Amino acid sequence: MSIEAYEGESGRLLANRYETANPEELFSPVMDLLPSQPAAILDVGAGSGRDAAWFAELGYSVLAVEPAATMRSFGVERHKDSQFEWLNDSLPGLKEVYRIGTAFDAIFVSAVWMHVPPNARERAFRKLAGLLKPGGKLFISLRMGQVDQSRSMHPVSSEEIISLAQDNGMSVVYQQSRPDVWGRTELLWEQLVLQLHDDGTDALPILRHVVLNDAKSSTYKLGLLRSVARAADGSQGMAEHGSDGEVYIPLGLVALNWLRLYHPLINSDLPQGPKNRGIKRLGFVKKRNLECCFWFSTGRFSCGK
């Protein structure tokens, strides 16, 4: 994301203009979708800190993310009595936010998405979804209409957001357009609220936590998850539903999928960890057993043979 237009004198002028809008008025249509206090809110592209300060006054724990130094310094001074934190970070990576290791009940991306280059949006959305708690909501406002290229803007659409939401296990719970708060007739703002498909009571939060947070060198855990997911996707007939509410699948099916997943990786000498090469230091395989499999292609592995 380019932030030059939000630095220096132009940044200060924009920050002062942002402060003239009333956040209570801006968010009034979605007030009933806000989480109950206290809750953790992430404001991505917080600008002058206007919204972050308002959320903090409502009793939320707020982290304001803003990459432009001029905006941050303006906001720190303007809202010095407000209880929220600032962080220098930006989409698409949000590396500093991820380094904190906190999940959020709600994430706000207000008048920001048009600054994310189209080729970085899939990653940016995935990063945002990964920071939500189970059942958390993502609030996005889209600038519809004229694109200001002097401020590194790109066209946006609600269809793109809805497609990305579906790809990341989220659904649309609110979608509405409103006129520009400063009376610019060539612009409309579309507000979308997306919710993560998860109420926190099933196994999905556990699996999701493993995928997002576990050490990536622990490939056997991810391998087991991938093996079970492959079984669920392509071998439903081999699953049995127990009276205890659990689902049972044959261990041989898990092993089969595991072989099919790892055989080509190891056979191609692709490392599975910092100190791994081939089958060395792989605790979940035995050299003699795996080497005998190298004579076969993965397509020849099957249950019962």
Alpha carbon of 37 to those of 128, 134, 147, 191: distances in Å?
A: 21, 16, 37, 22
Q: What is the pLDDT of residues 99-124, one digit of tens each?
A: 898 899 999 999 999 999 999 999 99
Least confident of 24-38, 137-151, 290-304: 290-304
Per-residue pLDDT reduced to its tens digit, 46-66: 999 999 999 999 999 999 999
Q: Predicted confidence band at 298 (pLDDT cuts at 50, 70, 90)?
A: very low
For the chain, domain boundaries: 4-196, 214-300
Q: How far apart, in whole angstroms, are the C-alpha atoms of residue 48 and residue 55?
A: 13
Q: Where are the alpha helices (DSSP H) in 58-168?
A: 69-78, 95-100, 121-130, 158-167
Mean pLDDT computed over 246-250: 81
Percent of the chain with pLDDT over 90: 50
Phi, psi of 43 (to 5 degrees): -110, 105
What's the pLDDT tens digit per position in 268-290? 776 666 666 666 666 555 656 55
Report CA torsion sign: 84, 85, 90, 93. negative
Q: Which of 104, 25, 94 is nearest to 66 (CA)?
A: 94
Can you tell me the mean pLDDT for 72-100? Answer: 95
DSSP symbol at 280 = B
Q: The pTM is what?
A: 0.67
Residue reference for tokens 């109950």: 36
How many Cα atoms are found within 13 Å in the side-chain-facing hemisphere of 122? 2
Residue 213 has pLDDT above 80, yes or no: no
4-196 CATH fold: Rossmann fold (3.40.50)
Query: Which residues, 6 or more positions from 201, have their beta carbon under 8 angstroms from its beta carbon?
Result: none
